[in-house]
Amino acid sequence: MKKLTCLFACVVLLTSITFPGRNTEQKPPNILFILADDLGRECVSSYGSDIFKTPNIDRLAREGVMFTHAFSNPYCTPTRSELLTGRYPFATNTSRVIYDYKHHKDMVLDVSEPSFARQLQQVGYKTAIAGKWQLSFLAKQDWVHEFGFDSYMLWQIMTDKDERTTRFHNPYFRKDGKVIADEIKDRYGPDVMVDYLIDFMKESHKEGKPFMAYYTSLLPHFPWVPTPDSEDQTIPGDVGSQEVVRGNPKFFPAMIDRLDHHVGRLMDALDDLGITRDTIVIFLADNGTDQQLYSSIHGQIVLGGKGTLTDRATQVPLLIRWPEKIKAGSVDDALVKVADFLPTLCELGKAPLPQQSIHGQSFAARLTGDSTREERSWVFIQMADESYLRSKDWIVTDKGEYKKVQPYPKDAEEVDPETLNKATRQYLEQLRAELFALINVK
């Protein structure tokens, strides 16, 4: 018996020894973050779209988790700044969309603000971004590297002479501080971006480093113009006309198809590299669909809500896949706001939080089935100088309005507080107090 006990102790000792050269610490997961531009839930078939088919995006829902209560802001710049920094737009001076240097040069995201890319970079991640930036004017405020991206390829919205540029055909892109246009003039812009990120993922994998690839897609934002798969390749309208600025809505379905195609290409690249199990894939939209577009979801006609203080503008698709960690085909109704991604990505990547205060709340534990951590009770939405808090059932605005949430895509309905019972009134008054306490601390 003594011999058996001694033998068992030796086995335990040997199995606990760390041999030289053997890495016993698990490598952090790779992160592929895909952000669609102007894509409401009614455009994704896994959310119930009656018109659009998105098989590759749906694959993420089938193999991962679908969030039903994820929220952005109604416009892109406020969402993108909040997503990157974990801070609400009022705190970063980014509550409005920037697109004209002369009028918006002082409304850009300052490099002193936090960045989830910078935090991941600090713990050894290779980081890259490709697509749309719209947080500063790259011709004169090229701060992308300073925000923690080792490399980038982005659409430069204006030239150094303040002239507007194109993003789809004859694209005008900036790559690590240098404008590239002539070498890609005959290519479809979004395809160039995806090729760039796939090369980045291959290089990072070859070097044995974890990566964070951030694809801020240009699709399906206007101008609605032909994609490489469109039968009609005619660019609508004359140069300088309003029609060229907006394009033709008939091309919108093809642009969604191309976005879905890109999601498929990126996931196929993970499969080819053999790193699908080691990579978290996140799919999100920056806001709802353009107001000039109609769609249908679960038999209901939907007018795009971008730029409105409604769920059609802010309740966006969010799908996350992490094989063997996230239960395939699961659905989560927890409230999630774009500010939550900074602390979530830091937790998943074992990166420290920034020194600055953030508004986001990590939901990393929910991804692996731990629902014991307290979830959000409300989300904060901001568009320019207007804002509100939204719980799962109620909206309280900065004008003091109380609104009852309706099933998506219906707009919330204003309610006379005198018709509510005492407990509900007290709850809404508490929400209002929290909203005003939040927006008055600037």
Q: DSSP of 352-388, one letter per residue?
A: PPPSS-------HHHHTT---SPPPS-EEEEETTEEE
Residue finishing a domain among 362, 378, 394: 378
**417 & 325 share domain:** no
pLDDT band at 9 (very low <50, low <70, confident <90, very high): very low
Token digits of residue 397:
């605005």
**181 & 273 share domain:** yes
DSSP bridge pairs for 151: 128
Q: Which of 12-16, 65-69, 150-154, 362-366 has the lowest mean pLDDT?
A: 12-16
Any idea what the Cα angle at residue 399 is, between residues 396 and 402, rounded to 5°?
30
**340 & 420 share domain:** no
**345 & 426 share domain:** no
Nearest Cα to Cα of residue 295 among 49, 48, 46, 39: 49
State the sign of the Cα–Cα–Cα–Cα dihedral 115, 41, 293, 90: negative
pLDDT of 160 > 70? The answer is yes
> Rounded CA gap, 261 and 286, in Å?
19
Question: Cα-atom radius of gyration of the chain, to the nearest Å?
Answer: 23
In a domain, 23, yes or no: no
Count of C-beta atoms within a 10 Å radius of residue 254 = 20
pLDDT of 327 > 90? The answer is yes
pLDDT band at 17 (very low <50, low <70, confident <90, very high): very low
In a domain, 14, yes or no: no
Please check whether residue 217 is in contact with residue 195, taking contact to mean a CB–CB distance below 8 angstroms: no
229-242: average pLDDT? 78
- Which CATH number covers residue 132? 3.40.720.10
In a domain, 266, yes or no: yes
pLDDT of 13 > 90? The answer is no
* Strand, helix or coil for residue 149: coil
**63 & 83 share domain:** yes
In a domain, 188, yes or no: yes
**434 & 296 share domain:** no
In a domain, 68, yes or no: yes
Phi, psi of 136 (to 5 degrees): -160, 175
Q: Which of 24-38, 101-115, 156-170, 245-259 has the lowest mean pLDDT?
A: 24-38
Q: What is the pTM of this model?
A: 0.93
In a domain, 7, yes or no: no
For residue 407, is the peptide bond before it cis, meaning its omega torsion is within 30 degrees of 0?
A: no
pLDDT of 284 > 60? The answer is yes
> Rounded CA gap, 442 and 429, in Å?
22
In a domain, 3, yes or no: no
Packed helices 252-273 and 189-207: angle between N→C axes, nearest 10 degrees: 10
Q: Which of 14-28, 125-139, 306-320 has the lowest mean pLDDT?
A: 14-28
Token digits of residue 429:
């008054």
Identify the domain containing residue 68 by its residue range. Answer: 30-378
**407 & 286 share domain:** no
**276 & 396 share domain:** no
Residue finishing a domain among 378, 395, 425: 378
Provide the pLDDT for residue 240.
53
> Rounded CA gap, 83 and 114, in Å?
10
Any residues with CB less than 8 A from the CB of 396 and at least 6 apart, and which? 388, 389, 402, 403, 428, 431, 432, 435
Q: Which residue has the tokens 């769920």?
A: 311
> Rounded CA gap, 296 and 68, in Å?
17
Nearest Cα to Cα of residue 213 among 125, 124, 312, 299: 125
Any residues with CB less than 8 A from the CB of 311 and at least 6 apart, and which? 305, 405, 408, 409, 411, 412
In a domain, 9, yes or no: no
Please check whether residue 84 is in contact with residue 109, taking contact to mean a CB–CB distance below 8 angstroms: yes
**305 & 217 share domain:** yes
**398 & 428 share domain:** yes
Residue finishing a domain among 327, 357, 378: 378
Give pLDDT tens digits for 87-131: 999 999 999 999 999 999 999 999 999 999 999 999 999 999 999
**131 & 226 share domain:** yes
> Rounded CA gap, 240 and 210, in Å?
44
* Strand, helix or coil for residue 282: strand
Q: Which residue has the tokens 């993922």?
A: 201
Token digits of residue 179:
């404008």
**346 & 395 share domain:** no
Choose between 34 and 17: higher pLDDT.
34
- Beta strands 379-383 and 330-337 are unpaired
pLDDT of 10 > 80? The answer is no
Q: Which residue has the tokens 């005198």?
A: 418
Query: How many domains does the structure of the chain reveal?
Result: 2
Quick one: DSSP state of residue 235?
P
